[in-house]
Amino acid sequence: MRLIRGTFPLAVVAVCALLGRSLHLPQLFLPLMPAVAALPAMGRSGGRDVLGAGAAALGGVALLGWGARPVNVVAALAGVLTVTALIRAAARRSRRQESKLARLGRLAQVTQAAVLPRPPESVGGVRLDARYLAATPGATVGGDICGAERTPFGVRLLIGDVSGKGLDVVGTAAETLHIWRELAHHESSLAGIALRMDTAVTRIHHHDGFVTALLINVYDDGRVELLSCGHPPPLLVRGGRASWLAGLDATAPLGLMRMVQDRCPTAVVRPAPDDWLLLCTDGVAECRNGAGEFYPLAERLTAFCGHEPTVVLDALEVDLDRYRDGGSRDDAMMLLIRPPSRQHSS
């Protein structure tokens, strides 16, 4: 659409003038001049473009009007001036609306960041990097949550998925994250956090919803304890290969633990130096393409492992978004954690 800016209206006027004069029928081209003035309406043009197109159209009327019938010239002039005024007013309204939308967009980003903030780059020596792909276009928050807190019991991490779709679950997600933050600093065990969160989620959802969650405790001696509440296990990246972490038995999601009599099994691993852990929600682990095929996360992660972790997440984000294009879309979150080595933590 940049063609309609600058000299394009003037070129149209020149062509009309040349054809009109060469054919000795300039009056037939006079009605085209209001259309030349309306050219900026075809694109996102500013006030100067509108005035420039109007000036070019008036010049065309002057060129073609020489020797034409006065009534045709007057009609063409009136048409150019009317169209220019209308397009100018429309351009001003469009700019005001765009400015208002931009302000609202910035306000929404600040508000969303305050409601569901992303974790910092490092907490207690644990390096973190998060990516979020919203199912709702333009959204930066949804039903997926993650958090990281430095506590008296070590660094505690959470990644979770609140049941429900769209932006309606944002309030529930924010309340769930707030409850976890409080419990992370006061409950000595992951099981204790899970049981108290289960009660809270039941109250928040009014017995008709749940939250899948992965609770993690990174101890100062390098151990990593995990508790899965109906959540996909993490991927362990070791020696350039990614594999799903074995030995982690999942219990029921938060809000449904009464169905398994509050059973909360945990698993403990000791990452080797340079190991990564990739945590993800169902939007990643159960992502399907248009043909219904699952996204091969472990395989793709292994293929990207030759790069820095941040670059790996960037590549995964682009690859996942491309893969799920045409398939069902769900909120998707990835949280990459790099625990400190035991040599460093000692």
Mean pLDDT by 10 residues, the chain (346 residues): 55 68 65 74 69 76 70 77 83 82 64 64 89 67 85 95 76 87 95 94 78 94 93 91 91 88 88 90 87 90 85 89 72 87 46
Tell me whether strands 154-162 and 126-133 are parallel, antiparallel or unpaired: unpaired
- What pLDDT is attached to residue 345? 37
- What pLDDT is attached to residue 335? 92
Contacts of 42 (CB under 8 A, 6+ apart): 1, 4
CB 343 within 8 A of CB 307: no
* Token code pair at residue 62: 């002057």
- Between CA 145 and CA 137 the distance in angstroms is 18
Query: What is the C-alpha end-to-end distance of the chain, expressed in Å?
Result: 62
- Between CA 229 and CA 244 the distance in angstroms is 16
Chain-centroid distance, C-alpha 29: 50
- Between CA 125 and CA 340 the distance in angstroms is 6
Report the topology of domain 116-345: Phosphatase 2c; domain 1 (3.60.40)
Residue that has been written with the tokens 């001696």 in this structure: 221
Smallest CA-to-CA distance from 267 within 309, 236, 299, 301 is with: 236
- What pLDDT is attached to residue 301? 92
- Let me know how long the chain is: 346
What H or E segment, with its residue span, contains residue 94? helix 70-115
- Between CA 69 and CA 85 the distance in angstroms is 25
- Between CA 30 and CA 59 the distance in angstroms is 11
- What pLDDT is attached to residue 218? 95
Domain ranges of the chain: 2-110, 116-345
- Between CA 5 and CA 83 the distance in angstroms is 17
What H or E segment, with its residue span, contains residue 212? strand 211-218
Secondary structure class of 84 (helix, strand, coil): helix
User: Is the CA virtual torsion 337, 338, 344, 346 positive or negative?
Assistant: positive
